[in-house]
Amino acid sequence: MPLSEIKAQERAIGILKKSVSEARVAHAYLFLGPDGVGKHSAAIEFAKLLNCTARETDNCGKCISCSKIEKAIHPDIFIISTEEGQRIIPIDKIRELSARLSLKPFEARYKIAVIDAQSLNKEASNALLKILEEPGADMLFILVAADANALLDTIVSRCQIVRFRPLSRLDVIDILKMDFNIDGNEAGFLADLSGLNIKKALSLRGQDALARKNAVIDEFSSNMPLLDSGNNSIMNLTRDMQQDAMDILLCFYRDVLVYKYTRDISMIMNIDRQEIVLEFAKKKEVASLNSAIDYIEEAKVSLEANVNSKLALKLLQEKLAV
Ligand SMILES: [Zn+2]
């Protein structure tokens, strides 16, 4: 995908393309903006553009350099991010990067490091700062972060900042439909559930999110005791997924409230479950819906605090049944 096809970030993309066309490429960029709005994809496409052997106004996407970067097998492009299940990039990774950057490029114009800068701890940040202070002429750094305050000032001041804007709900739906072939209903639901974060939306999709969403709504709306067994039962989900389930319930109860106030079915998010939304709107009072939302928020906090999750969920179900 050419850099220009990154959607909804025309301003950021314009700055990057201009820096290449005017041959004024900085040594270090900081892509700043909320999670899941296209910063990482833009970094990869920008790396392709910089090293494309057939580039015109954009990367060609087909030359050896572009296709190696696409497959993440280019020897001069380094993606530095956390390992699965980890939150921090250890200093060893930055030391290794430093050693590899000191070699001549194998085949590229630029050696490029794309770094998830917010996951660097203090030690790793200081190690990165040392490299940024004396970069080689053929090195280029693209730091990616949601919040500049989480980074060392001395790192931020060495970077050209490129801002990525938050996406609107329509932007997210559009991107999911156009770039990932997701149909409209599911795209809308994924947009809402992910908090307008494309990356999260795609990971939720992989987990068959629609079926899971409905399993959660069914389990909590049925008044049957939660089951300790059964594949789809919330009790057997991972803690992360149980937390996502709380967001699903919040979304459902908000739908009920919204419908109660507006009587407008087009305003609700769980459009595929309108029957049960209507049923709840009929039988529940506003006060009890508001309490339900409070209970779910409390359960969410408990799950984050590592309490016994089965107990927290059973308690929640009892409270919601009242
Ligand atoms: Zn190319």
What separation in Å is there between the alpha carbon of 62 and the centre of ligand 1? 5
Average pLDDT over the chain, rounded to an integer: 90
What separation in Å is there between the alpha carbon of 61 and the centre of ligand 1? 5
Dihedral, 197, 203, 209, 213 alpha carbons, nearest 10: -50
- Predicted pLDDT of residue 299: 94
Mean pLDDT of 204-228: 79
Distance from C-alpha of 34 to C-alpha of 39, rounded to nearest angstrom = 9
Residue 88: pLDDT over 80: yes
Residue 208: pLDDT over 80: no
Q: Are 169 and 192 in contact (CB under 8 A)?
A: yes
- Predicted pLDDT of residue 207: 67
Distance from C-alpha of 4 to C-alpha of 18, rounded to nearest angstrom = 12
Pick from 16-25, 30-39, 304-313: least confident: 304-313
What separation in Å is there between the alpha carbon of 132 and the centre of ligand 1? 27
Mean pLDDT of 212-228: 80
Distance from C-alpha of 29 to C-alpha of 50, rounded to nearest angstrom = 13
Residue 146: pLDDT over 90: yes
What separation in Å is there between the alpha carbon of 79 and the centre of ligand 1? 19
Name residue 258's amino acid: V
What separation in Å is there between the alpha carbon of 28 and the centre of ligand 1? 22
What's the CATH fold of domain 207-321?
Answer: Zinc Finger, Delta Prime; domain 3 (1.20.272)
Same CATH fold assignment for domains 3-163 and 207-321: no
Query: Which is more confidently placed, 238 or 50?
Result: 50
Mean pLDDT of 125-133: 95
What separation in Å is there between the alpha carbon of 20 and the centre of ligand 1? 14
Q: Are 273 and 189 in contact (CB under 8 A)?
A: no
Residue 228: pLDDT over 80: no
Residue 229: pLDDT over 70: no
What separation in Å is there between the alpha carbon of 186 and the centre of ligand 1? 34
Domain ranges of the chain: 3-163, 207-321
Structure tokens at 307: 């309490």
What separation in Å is there between the alpha carbon of 2 and the centre of ligand 1? 9
- Predicted pLDDT of residue 230: 63
What separation in Å is there between the alpha carbon of 217 and the centre of ligand 1? 47
- Predicted pLDDT of residue 232: 63
Residue 233: pLDDT over 80: no
What separation in Å is there between the alpha carbon of 55 and the centre of ligand 1? 6
Query: Which is more confidently placed, 268 or 151?
Result: 151
- Predicted pLDDT of residue 160: 97
- Predicted pLDDT of residue 106: 79
What separation in Å is there between the alpha carbon of 32 and the centre of ligand 1? 26
What separation in Å is there between the alpha carbon of 192 and the centre of ligand 1? 36
Distance from C-alpha of 70 to C-alpha of 90, rounded to nearest angstrom = 25
Q: Give residue-wise pLDDT tens across range 265-299.
A: 888 888 889 999 999 999 999 999 999 999 999 99
What separation in Å is there between the alpha carbon of 272 and the centre of ligand 1? 43
- Predicted pLDDT of residue 195: 82
What separation in Å is there between the alpha carbon of 293 and the centre of ligand 1? 51
What separation in Å is there between the alpha carbon of 207 and the centre of ligand 1? 34
Distance from C-alpha of 89 to C-alpha of 66, rounded to nearest angstrom = 27
What separation in Å is there between the alpha carbon of 107 and the centre of ligand 1? 13
**3-163 is classed CATH 1.20.1530.20:** no
Q: Which residues contact 80 (CB under 8 A, 6 or more apart)?
A: 89, 93, 94, 97, 113, 114, 115, 116
What separation in Å is there between the alpha carbon of 127 and the centre of ligand 1? 32
- Predicted pLDDT of residue 185: 79
For residue 293, how far is the Cα from the chain centroid?
25
What separation in Å is there between the alpha carbon of 45 and the centre of ligand 1? 10
Position 192 confidence tier, pLDDT thresholds 50, 70, 90: confident
Pick from 176-185, 205-214, 272-281, 306-315: least confident: 205-214
- Predicted pLDDT of residue 240: 80
What separation in Å is there between the alpha carbon of 51 and the centre of ligand 1? 7
What separation in Å is there between the alpha carbon of 52 and the centre of ligand 1? 4
pTM, to two decimals: 0.74
- Predicted pLDDT of residue 194: 84
